[in-house]
Structure 1
Amino acid sequence: MPRRAKISVIGGGNVGASCALWAASKELGDIVVLDIPQQEDVVKGKMLDLLECSPIERFDCNITGTSDYADIADSDVVVVTAGIPRKPGMSRDDLIATNVKIVNSVSENIKQHAPKAIVIVVSNPLDAMVYTAWKSTGFPTNQIVGQAGALDVARYRTFIAMELGVSVEDIQALLLGGHGDDMVPLPRYTSVHGIPVQQLMSDEKINACVERAKVGGGEIVKLMGTSAYYAPASGVIQMVEAIVKDKKRIIPSAAYCDKEYGVGGYFVGVPALLGKDGVEKIIEIDLDGDEKKLMDESISHVKELVKVVRDTFPELA
């Protein structure tokens, strides 16, 4: 009997718990969700609650809540959601300083207990945290990837489907670059069941969908006072499924690029082929002048974030 995949999630808050829910519902493998010792009983309770859904939802997997990193041993994939959200009055640099310490500590434990795992980083600011996880683990670049593009594209597709009154399943789309304001929209690569979206929507309406996707996270924070979690977790599990099932799916991801797109050795949002070895290939697409300008701006912002990490924590340079 083949061994089940093992998926570990570091951080048992809203995003981490939602990752466990989506992974269980898709029966992707055994699941471990780890949180800090002060939250051990809470995360154990959440995961027991989820396990008790299995007879009704008909999934077979082991689901464990823990605070002991030994429990993530032999993981195929480790998802990192740990970190604090940005609070009112907190600068970007303050957020980076706090979350680099958290992600650095988490990454060192992953290196010790799950050295063969593919690591998917969700913590913010994403581009800086993926870099931190890479430096802290010392893993090959194919083993480290960040989730942002899957979420941004899902939002973009949702808004186009809402505008056109069609199924979201028929929308194909692509976005590059950083998360949120730094994303690079690509309407030329957006279609509805193969029909170019420009034949179905005005440029004005397409741009409105792009702009709404850019601020999609902020829109949800304004409505409910906390960050989104169902959709970010869904984006993560789309990536997890591609890896544990070796599906070779092309999913926009924060992946390491050197010569690709002229990046020069940073993790940026690009179409990445995901399979059992993690990021197995970067897909380079042709960009026109305007798209390349936006992509270069996005890359420059990633470099600024990484510079803050390097300046604040020289050991990660």
Structure 2
Amino acid sequence: MHLPKIAMIGAGQVGATAAHLIAKKELGNLVLVDVDAGMARGKALDIAESGPVAGFDVAVSGTDDYADIAGSEVVVITAGMARKPGMDRSELLRKNVEIVSGIARQVAEHAPEAYVIVVTNPLDAMVCTVKEVTGFPPNRVMGMAGVLDSARMRRFISQELRVSGKDVTAMVLGSHGDRMVPVRGSSTVGGIPITELLSAERLEAIVERTRHGGGEVVELLKTGSAYYAPGASITEMVESIVRDQRRIRPVAAYLQGEYGVSDLYIGVPAIIGSGGVEQVVEIHLTEAEREQFDASVESVRKLIAEARAVSGPGGA
């Protein structure tokens, strides 16, 4: 059986966790790329050696040479500086624009046909940077944000109601940050609207916790950021592409008139399949949610303008 090749750029906690989950599902043969070649090779070897026990059989290798990503069907970019306690996402901008721009140039050179999933923060600016640097069509470049944010909201709802998270659906749109927009009307438990199961006060508390879910983990860890939930979210997106599942998931997608927005990456529901972002799905937003979404769009526009200013000539 032919297995696609999947490149994981960044062998830190997020990249390695995602690589392990991808290997366990046998979604493809993996190559981990990191500036620290020893770490990339060591984690690749460790993942591969877990295969006989976990019951998977895929190739896993590590390298610091981007030439080794040649032929990759999917490239996941997790490399970059992680948030520290008290650090705003925008504070990451200067360093991560530099890191991600360099990676994007390597991807364009060595894996010019790949679909790219961007994870590095600040996400909204980084996914735009990758598209502009690679010159790839927008359907082949997307950001992982809403899948993670929605997973957090689903968990909080299941905890509040003491029900299985498997029965909970949620949809979080907008930017990947404090201006994200959890859509109450798209949140259900076993098909029952969440508004029929929770008071407005409790639901608002869940919405607020969702908005700050990443920061909550950062504050608790003190020396890093989340990686289990991001790793699972990356894996779900990779699976939808390589197995052409055409799942509707909230991702940072390039809008070309949808939601009244053009030429901008923002979190929206989209059909994800073998063609990457195959279709943006427009859903009804209440007046309040629309206002929040518009505010989120404006915050992303400002962040991207800042990223372009930081990158300078020849950058993003």
TM-score interval for Structure 1 and Structure 2 normalised by the shorter chain:
over 0.9
Judge conservation of contact 1:175–1:252 (CA < 8 Å) in 2. yes
1:4 counterpart SS class: coil
List aligned pairs for 1:143-292, cutoff 5 A.
Answer: 143-225=140-222, 226-292=224-290
Equivalent residue number for residue 34 of structure 2: 35
Q: Give the letter aligned to residue 3 of structure 2.
A: R
Unaligned runs of 5+ in 2: none
Of residues 43, 51, 58, the one that matches 2:48 is: 51
TM-score by length of 1: 0.96
Equivalent residue number for residue 7 of structure 1: 6
Equivalent residue number for residue 133 of structure 1: 130
Equivalent residue number for residue 24 of structure 1: 23
Judge conservation of contact 1:127–1:178 (CA < 8 Å) in 2. yes
Pairwise CA RMSD: 1.4
Q: Go from structure 1 to structure 2 and tell me whether the alpha carbon gap of 1:218 and 1:92 turns closer, same or farther (over 3 Å shift).
A: closer
- Counterparts of 2:177 and 2:94, CA distance in 1: 20
Judge conservation of contact 1:93–1:308 (CA < 8 Å) in 2. no
List aligned pairs for 1:93-132, cutoff 5 A.
Answer: 94-132=91-129
Equivalent residue number for residue 72 of structure 1: 69
Q: Give the letter aligned to residue 147 of structure 1.
A: M
Judge conservation of contact 1:9–1:34 (CA < 8 Å) in 2. yes
C-alpha distance after superposition, 1:227-276 (max 9, x if no partner) = 00010111111100000000000010000002011122100000011001
- Counterparts of 1:43 and 1:165, CA distance in 2: 40
Q: Give the letter aligned to residue 243 of structure 1.
A: I
Percent identity reads: 49
Q: Give the letter aligned to residue 183 of structure 1.
A: M
Bigger mean CA deviation after superposition, 220-229 or 121-130: 220-229
Judge conservation of contact 1:8–1:31 (CA < 8 Å) in 2. yes
- Counterparts of 2:45 and 2:291, CA distance in 1: 49
Judge conservation of contact 1:187–1:197 (CA < 8 Å) in 2. yes
Judge conservation of contact 1:309–1:316 (CA < 8 Å) in 2. no
1:307 counterpart SS class: helix
Of residues 300, 303, 313, the one that matches 1:302 is: 300
Tell me how far 1:291 sits from its aligned partner. 1.0
Q: Give the letter aligned to residue 16 of structure 1.
A: G
C-alpha distance after superposition, 1:33-80 (max 9, x if no partner) = 1000xx111221111111011111110100001111111111110000
Tell me how far 1:92 sits from its aligned partner. 5.6
C-alpha distance after superposition, 1:118-146 (max 9, x if no partner) = 00000010000001000110000000000
C-alpha distance after superposition, 1:186-238 (max 9, x if no partner) = 11111111111111111111111111111111111111111000101111111
Q: Go from structure 1 to structure 2 and tell me whether the alpha carbon gap of 1:91 and 1:211 turns closer, same or farther (over 3 Å shift).
A: closer
Q: Go from structure 1 to structure 2 and tell me whether the alpha carbon gap of 1:101 and 1:190 turns closer, same or farther (over 3 Å shift).
A: same
Tell me how far 1:93 sits from its aligned partner. 5.4
2:26 counterpart SS class: coil
Unaligned runs of 5+ in 1: none
Equivalent residue number for residue 86 of structure 1: 83
Q: How many aligned residue pairs are there?
A: 314
Q: Go from structure 1 to structure 2 and tell me whether the alpha carbon gap of 1:89 and 1:253 turns closer, same or farther (over 3 Å shift).
A: closer
- Counterparts of 1:58 and 1:251, CA distance in 2: 28
Detail structure 1 runs of 4+ shifted over 4 Å in the superposition. Answer: 87-94
2:152 counterpart SS class: helix
TM-score by length of 2: 0.96
Tell me how far 1:95 sits from its aligned partner. 2.2
Q: Go from structure 1 to structure 2 and tell me whether the alpha carbon gap of 1:265 and 1:316 turns closer, same or farther (over 3 Å shift).
A: farther
Judge conservation of contact 1:103–1:132 (CA < 8 Å) in 2. yes
